């Protein structure tokens, strides 16, 4: 990605009783969301949490999804009409309330 692009991060915190199906997320949810968002998505990555900062500790996040756009408006215009369908799919792979952060790519 290049400087000035917008990164939308969807973070799924770990915790007692939290579940996350990474296979469903990668093979069903992300492709569905990408199709709905269309050409406004410049790229996407998925990260699977392995360990935390201390050896052997649990990861802070079970998984992270990242979507890249040219602008906040591009994200909002593509996500808005499909938000209900995309968010409605969450119970199919997790019981975690995601944390969303929108950032500007600096380098």
- pLDDT at position 106 is 97
- pLDDT at position 47 is 98
- pLDDT at position 101 is 98
What the chain holds in terms of domains, given with CATH numbers, is 6-104 (3.30.70.100)
Model confidence, pTM = 0.94
For 39-66, the pLDDT digits (tens) are 999 999 999 999 999 999 999 999 999 9
Q: What is the mean pLDDT of the chain?
A: 97
For residues 22-49, give the mean pLDDT: 97
Three-class HEC string of the chain: CCCCCEEEEEEEECCCCCCECHHHHHHHHHHHHHHHHHHHCCEEEEEECCCCCCCCCCCCEEEEEEEEECCHHHHHHHHHHHHHHHHHCHHHCECCCCEEEEEECCC
- pLDDT at position 52 is 96
């Amino acid at each position: 990605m290049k400087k000035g692009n917008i990164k939308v991060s969807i973070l799924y915190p770990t915790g007692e009783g939290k579940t996350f199906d990474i296979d469903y997320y990668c093979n069903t949810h992300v492709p569905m969301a990408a199709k709905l968002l269309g050409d406004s998505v410049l790229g996407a990555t998925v990260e699977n949490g392995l360990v935390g900062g201390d050896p052997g500790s649990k990861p802070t996040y079970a998984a992270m999804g990242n979507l890249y756009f040219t602008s906040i408006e591009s994200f909002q215009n593509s996500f808005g009409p499909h938000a209900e369908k995309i968010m409605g799919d969450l119970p199919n792979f997790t019981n975690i309330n995601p944390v969303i952060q929108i950032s500007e790519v600096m380098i």
